[in-house]
Amino acid sequence: MDNLRFIRLAMESSASFTSVPGWGAIVIGCTAILAGLLAAIPSLTEHWLVIWIGDAALALGVGGWFMARKAKGLGVRLWQGVGRRFLFSVTPPLVAAVILTAALGGTGGVRWIPGLWLLLYGSGVVSGGTFSVRPVPIMGLCFMALGALTLWAPASWANLLLVSGFGGLHILFGAIIARRYGG
């Protein structure tokens, strides 16, 4: 039994985390496009931060649900082995994004939030992607590049760049993941 347990643990630690949900990323991308459209409505532009934070919360729930569903279908436990390492790699940059949003949201630093979100989300995806399928870290690098661009772009481009990243990149890479690695 000890040998079987060792073999199972060795296989789990060497495996790729394939529970990244392609269809979930597509849905997340669609909600980001809707958030961007809402934030672009003239009467709502001053509430863009609240709209995007609401979408981030929705995306977290949608992504978690799709990931749990895919993991269950694959017979993978999210909180063990490679799934656990994936989640613990993605989480610190997301926590940093939340802390920086809270710190900058109450000051004149709001202008930097979109770039930081894209950059930190991308770094989390790259980190978690080391345990996942090949398109995941590539997607993270694309988010990081877009985040860097956003930091130097005019503030008036922020909403469009957020839509391009959280909408466009999620849909593009979600379709690739769904096609190559299943839902």
Q: Tell whether the model's pLDDT for residue 100 goes beyond 90.
A: yes
* Average of per-residue pLDDT values in the chain: 86
- What is residue 15's predicted lDDT score, i.e. its pLDDT? 47
Contacts (Cβ under 8 Å, ≥6 apart) of 6: none
The rounded distance, in Å, linking the Cα atoms of 101 and 120 is 11
Please identify which residue in the block is written with the tokens 């809707």: 34
Please identify which residue in the block is written with the tokens 């017979």: 75
Each domain of the chain, given as residue ranges in start order, spans: 20-181
Contacts (Cβ under 8 Å, ≥6 apart) of 36: 159, 160, 162, 163, 167
Q: How confident is the model at residue 85 (pLDDT cuts 50, 70, 90)?
A: confident
**Cα torsion angle, 7, 64, 129, 135, sign:** positive
Per residue in 31-57, pLDDT (tens digit) is 999 999 999 999 999 999 999 999 999
- Residues in the chain, how many? 183
- What is residue 19's predicted lDDT score, i.e. its pLDDT? 62
- What is residue 164's predicted lDDT score, i.e. its pLDDT? 97
Picking from 6-10, 24-28, 66-70, which range would have the lowest pLDDT averaged per residue? 6-10
Contacts (Cβ under 8 Å, ≥6 apart) of 107: none
Our CA dihedral for 179, 31, 84, 100, rounded to 10 degrees, sits at 140
Q: Tell whether the model's pLDDT for residue 13 goes beyond 60.
A: no
Please identify which residue in the block is written with the tokens 């392609």: 22
Q: Tell whether the model's pLDDT for residue 80 goes beyond 80.
A: no
- pTM score, whole prediction: 0.84
Between 74 and 88, the more confident residue is 88
Please check whether residue 117 is in contact with residue 1, taking contact to mean a CB–CB distance below 8 angstroms. no
Between 17 and 24, the more confident residue is 24
Contacts (Cβ under 8 Å, ≥6 apart) of 134: none
Per residue in 109-139, pLDDT (tens digit) is 899 999 999 999 999 999 888 877 889 899 9
**Cα torsion angle, 166, 168, 171, 177, sign:** negative
Q: Which amino acid is at 46?
A: E
Three-state DSSP state, 15: coil
